Amino acid sequence: MPDLQRSAGLPASAVGDVTIAVQLGFIAGTLVFAWLAIADRYSPRIVFFLCSLAGAAANAITLASGGEFLGLLGARFATGFFLAGLYPVGMKIASGWYDRDLGLALGWLVGALVLGTALPHLVRGLGGDLPWQGVILSVSAVSIAGGLAMFFLVPDGPHLGAGAKFDPAAFATIFRSRDFRASAFGYFGHMWELYALYAFVPVVLAARLGSDGATVSVWSFAVIGAGFVGCIGGGYLSRGIGSARVAFVQLSASGLCCFVSPLMFLAPLPVFLAFLLFWGVVVAGDSPQFSTLNARFAPSGLVGSALTIANCIGFFITIVSIALLSRLIEAAGPQYGLLMLVPGPLLGLSALKRLAAKRV
C-alpha cells in the first residue's frame, strides 16, 4: 500500500478503505456460498481449489486498475468474495477429518490462515526493490500453489457430511441460545480488535522504525505471523482446560495490550517490538477457539445458519473498527488510535466469562 499510495497519489485513509473492500467482499461471498450450499453440493476441496484460482485472478486484476481507486476497490472486493470459498470451506474440510479434537485441528487451520495473512509482508520485505506489482503477482502465485496442494494432497475426509442449509429467518432463533449468545458475542469482541490491528501493523511499526519499507515489512510479517504460535498453543491447551478458558485468557491479554499500547510507544525499541510480537500471539490465538465454541453451541439443525450469521456479523464489525481506526490514526497518530480497540475485548470478555467458568 505505501508504494501504491505514492505511485497513484492515494490518501492515507486508502489503507482502511481497501481493507474494508476485502471484508465486504468476504461477507458477500459467505452469504452467497451459504445460500447456494456450494460446499455441500460439491466436494469442498474442489471448491477450495477453484476459489484459490479465482482469488488469485481477482488479486492480479489489481494491476489492471492502474491505481484508479474505484477499480482497486472492485478488485479487492472480488478477492474477498473468493476468500469465502477458502477460509470457511477449509474449516469444513478440517471437520471432515476430525470428529474429536476439533479445537486443535482448527488451531492448526487458523494458524495457517494467520501465516498466510502475514506472508505478503515477508514477500515485500525480502524482495528488496520488488515493486508492488511484483508483490501482487507473487501472492497470486502462492494462492494457486495452495489450491493445487489442497486438490492433490487432501482427499475428502471420512467424517464429511452435508451441512445444515442457510436460513436467514433463523436469526432470532439462534440467539435465543444462551451459550451460543455468549460465544458469539465473545467472538464479536475479538473481531473488533483483530483485523483493525492487522490492517495497521505496518503503520504502527513505521511510526517507530521510520521509512525503511523492507524492515517494516519483515517485522509486519513477524508480528502477524506470531499468531500462528497462539493458535497452535491454544489448540493444545484447549484439550486440557477447554476452549472457553483459552479464548478468555488470550482475549484478556490482547485487551491489555490495547490498553497499554500508548506507553509502549515510549518504551525502548526492543521492548516495543517484543510487545508487538506478544500482541500478535494473543490477538489471533483465541480465534480458532471461538470458532469451536460457536460450532458447539449453535442450535441443532441450524448450525450452518448460525455459523454463517455469526461470521457475517463478525466481519461487518471489522469494517466499522477499521474505518474508525483509520480516521483516528490519521487525526491523532497510531500511539493513541489503538486505544479505540479496547472496548472490543472488554465486551467480549463480559460475554464469555460464564462459559469460561464452566470449562467448556
DSSP string, 221-256: HHHHHTHHHHHHHHHHHHHHH-HHHHHHHHHHHHHH
| Cβ–Cβ < 8 Å for 319, 188 | no
Average per-residue pLDDT for the chain: 89
Q: Residue 196 is placed in which grid cell?
A: 483493525
Closest CA to 106 of 90, 119, 117: 90
pLDDT of residue 132: 84
Give the side-chain half-sphere CA count within 13 A for 133.
8
CA separation for the pair 165, 241 (Å, rounded): 32
For the cut 70, the answer to whether the pLDDT of residue 145 exceeds it is yes
Catalogue all structural domains in the chain, each as residue range(s) with its CATH number: 2-154+170-358 (1.20.1250.20)
Averaged pLDDT for residues 41-48: 88
74-112 pLDDT, tens digit each: 999 999 999 999 988 888 788 778 767 777 888 898 999
In degrees to the nearest 10, what's the CA dihedral of 333, 202, 115, 164? 50
Range from 130-139, 156-165, 236-245, 303-312 carrying the lowest mean pLDDT: 156-165
For the cut 90, the answer to whether the pLDDT of residue 195 exceeds it is yes
Angstrom CA distances, 10 to 1, 3, 55, 69, 163, stand at 9, 10, 24, 8, 43
| pTM (2 d.p.) | 0.89
CA separation for the pair 95, 109 (Å, rounded): 11
The larger pLDDT score, comparing residue 228 to residue 44, is at 228
CA separation for the pair 110, 281 (Å, rounded): 12
pLDDT of residue 161: 63
The larger pLDDT score, comparing residue 213 to residue 259, is at 259
20-37 pLDDT, tens digit each: 999 999 999 998 888 887
The larger pLDDT score, comparing residue 220 to residue 40, is at 220
pLDDT of residue 95: 73
pLDDT of residue 97: 82
For the cut 80, the answer to whether the pLDDT of residue 39 exceeds it is no
pLDDT band, residue 165 (cuts 50/70/90): low
The larger pLDDT score, comparing residue 189 to residue 99, is at 189
Please give the share of the chain, as a percent, with pLDDT higher than 90.
57
Please give the share of the chain, as a percent, with pLDDT higher than 70.
97
49-70 pLDDT, tens digit each: 999 999 999 999 988 877 688 8
For the cut 80, the answer to whether the pLDDT of residue 232 exceeds it is yes
